[in-house]
């Protein structure tokens, strides 16, 4: 199953949702697809969706999916990486009124440069990336949370 998560912000990501519909229509995707579409105003025709999910439902879909396709939300990316799922990041772009700036592209590029995710840019074939995600050897994600906490504690204790 392919799980698509576009987050909960006020912005749409119709571009991705339409592209998935076209891939299903042309039989390039034949497996089940489920999407959390947030505030997108495009309603998928060829796959199931919901506007929003609670945390338990969201985690369940990530756990069950074979491939996670997500906007460039750090929380969603990390959730996928923590569950060792292949992640394709499809960043929102300002020129399509999907966000106020292109910081999502910068986030996606950073994760991609570390070989943690596949970045789907405008020139990429999403279908080919979905196929690549299934066999690509990703780097192992290691959280730096404990190091950050240790550094902050050390600093506070030194004051």
Here the CATH number for the domain that contains residue 10 is 3.40.50.2000
pLDDT tens digits along 67-92:
999 999 999 999 999 999 999 999 99
Average pLDDT over residues 42-59: 97
In this prediction, what percent of the chain has a pLDDT beyond 70?
Answer: 100
The alpha carbon torsion through 90, 39, 53, 17 (nearest 10 deg) reads -40
Number of H helices, E strands in the chain: 6, 6
Cβ-contact 39, 70 below 8 angstroms? no
Number of domains in the chain: 1
Average pLDDT over residues 22-36: 97
pLDDT, residue 68, reads 98
Please name which of 13, 8, 7, 18 lies closest in space to residue 92, comparing C-alpha atoms: 13
Cβ-contact 88, 72 below 8 angstroms? no
- Which residue did the predictor score with more confidence, 48 or 96? 48
| 137: containing domain | 2-158
Work out the pLDDT band at 103, boundaries 50, 70, 90.
confident
pLDDT, residue 158, reads 84
Q: Which residue has the tokens 């990703």?
A: 138
Residue 50 pairs in a beta bridge with 36
Query: What's the whole-number average pLDDT of the chain?
Result: 94
Please name which of 131, 122, 118 lies closest in space to residue 89, comparing C-alpha atoms: 118
């Amino acid at each position: 199953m392919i799980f698509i998560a576009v987050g909960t912000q006020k912005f749409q990501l119709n571009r991705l949702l339409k592209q998935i519909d076209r891939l299903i229509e042309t039989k390039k995707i034949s497996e089940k697809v489920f999407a959390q579409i947030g505030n997108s105003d495009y309603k998928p025709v060829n796959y199931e969706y919901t506007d929003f999910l609670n945390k338990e439902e969201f985690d369940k879909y990530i756990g069950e999916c074979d491939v996670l396709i997500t906007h460039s939300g750090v929380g969603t990316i990390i959730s996928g990486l923590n569950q060792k799922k292949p992640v394709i990041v499809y960043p929102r772009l300002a020129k399509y009124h999907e966000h106020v700036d292109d910081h999502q592209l910068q986030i996606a590029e950073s994760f991609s440069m570390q070989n943690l995710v596949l970045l789907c840019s405008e020139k990429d074939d999403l279908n080919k990336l979905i196929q690549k995600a299934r066999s690509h050897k990703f780097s192992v994600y290691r959280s730096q949370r404990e190091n950050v906490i240790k550094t902050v504690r050390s600093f506070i204790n030194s004051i």
